[in-house]
Amino acid sequence: MNQAGGRVFILRARKAPTSPAFSLDDLARAGHLEIAAHCVANALFISGQIRPAIALHLVLEGAPDPPRTLRLESDTLGSLGGFDERSICQLVQRALGAGRHLKLGEELRVNGGVYVAKRSFEQLVREQSAALPLYHLQPRGEDIRATRFSLPAAFVFSDHLSMPKKADKYLVRLGARPLSVGPRRLFASQCIALVHNELDRQRL
């Protein structure tokens, strides 16, 4: 994976579908996949540009065949056909269709900058923690404004559902540092924007 100098985001979406058989007209019923779509838009794009050196992992853990982990890499990403929820979720559908026969540990390239793997959240964060510092986004973590970062670095967070307690502990064991972007509990996509903003301000 291209992480050179990069910002890595890992979203755990605990009820997001793992088959393409969901309706783009009812994303709320598809485990609130609109949250993942907002994260894609905020992680990869700024006004008029794709951000360089970003990797976003979407760990989908809903029915019928969890897990599936999509990886989007900004440096090689082709057109998504739009930044709206529907276009982004269509991309998720395509990736899930392409990855329906994957066995545990396997990954395939769907198209430019888009990969799908059958890789668990635990395996992913373990691999990442061996290569780069890991930050676990939590409202009670260390204040982002008091934190000096270096890149590459990875930022881990969940969607509308809390991280399971077991995973909280696992992240601590891996050395992940709790990081707060502010006093209010925000949407995951808003956290991404604030992390990007802080790293931009630190000229990273």
Smallest separation, CB 97 to ligand SAM (Å):
28
What single-letter amino acid sits at 115? Y
Smallest separation, CB 141 to ligand SAM (Å):
6
* 139 in contact with ligand SAM (CB under 6 A): yes
* 160 in contact with ligand SAM (CB under 6 A): yes
User: Of these, 182, 197, 200, 202, which contacts ligand SAM (CB under 6 A)?
Assistant: 182
What single-letter amino acid sits at 75? D
**Only segment of 75-83, 109-117, 119-127, 137-145 that touches ligand SAM (CB under 6 A):** 137-145
Smallest separation, CB 13 to ligand SAM (Å):
10
* 186 in contact with ligand SAM (CB under 6 A): yes
Q: Is the dihedral of CA 144, 185, 154, 46 positive or negative?
A: negative
* 189 in contact with ligand SAM (CB under 6 A): no
Round to whole Å and give the CA distance between 153 and 105.
Answer: 23
Round to whole Å and give the CA distance between 192 and 199.
Answer: 11
* 188 in contact with ligand SAM (CB under 6 A): yes
**Only segment of 21-29, 103-111, 175-183, 196-204 that touches ligand SAM (CB under 6 A):** 175-183
Dihedral (C-alpha) 160, 164, 167, 171: value to the nearest 10 degrees? 50
Closest CA to 56 of 37, 75, 43: 43
Query: Which residue intervals of 48-177 are DSSP H helices?
Result: 85-98, 121-131, 165-173
User: Of these, 9, 128, 180, 196, which contacts ligand SAM (CB under 6 A)?
Assistant: 180
Total number of residues that touch ligand SAM (CB under 6 A): 17
| Contact present, 58 and 70 (Cβ < 8 Å) | yes
* 158 in contact with ligand SAM (CB under 6 A): yes
| Contact present, 70 and 118 (Cβ < 8 Å) | no
Nearer to ligand SAM, 133 or 139 (CB): 139
